[in-house]
Structures are given as structure tokens and as C-alpha cells.
Amino acid sequence: SPWIHSLKNREIFMLLRQLEKIHSKSCLNDGTYFKFPWESETITQIQKTEGT
């Protein structure tokens, strides 16, 4: 059901938010290097899931 999908997406976004906080606290120059490819990949996966 769509409700389960939205719940799963909410969990993913909460994880993304927590990761962003960790990265911003760590103050590493290459923090964006780690964050960016993973984030865009996850968003693509979410969009594929919503498409079905």
C-alpha cells in the first residue's frame, strides 16, 4: 500500500538528515565527496520505488 511506501521513504529521509548532521559536525573537506554520490543515488532509488 502507498502508506507503507511513504513510511519507508520517511525513514530514509530521516537517515539522510542524520548523516548530513554528522558530516557537517565532522568538518571534513571531502565530506561533500562522501555525501553527494550516495545521496543522489538514494533519491533515484526512492523515485524508482514511487514509480512502481
Phi-psi region of 27 (alpha: psi -120 to 50; beta: other; left: phi over 0): left
Confidence of residue 46 (pLDDT cuts 50, 70, 90): low
5-44 pLDDT per residue, tens: 788 888 888 988 888 877 666 555 554 555 555 555 665 6
pLDDT of the residue at 21: 79
State whether residue 15 is helix, strand or coil: helix
CB 12 within 8 A of CB 38: no
pLDDT of the residue at 7: 81
What ranges do the domains of the chain cover? 2-47
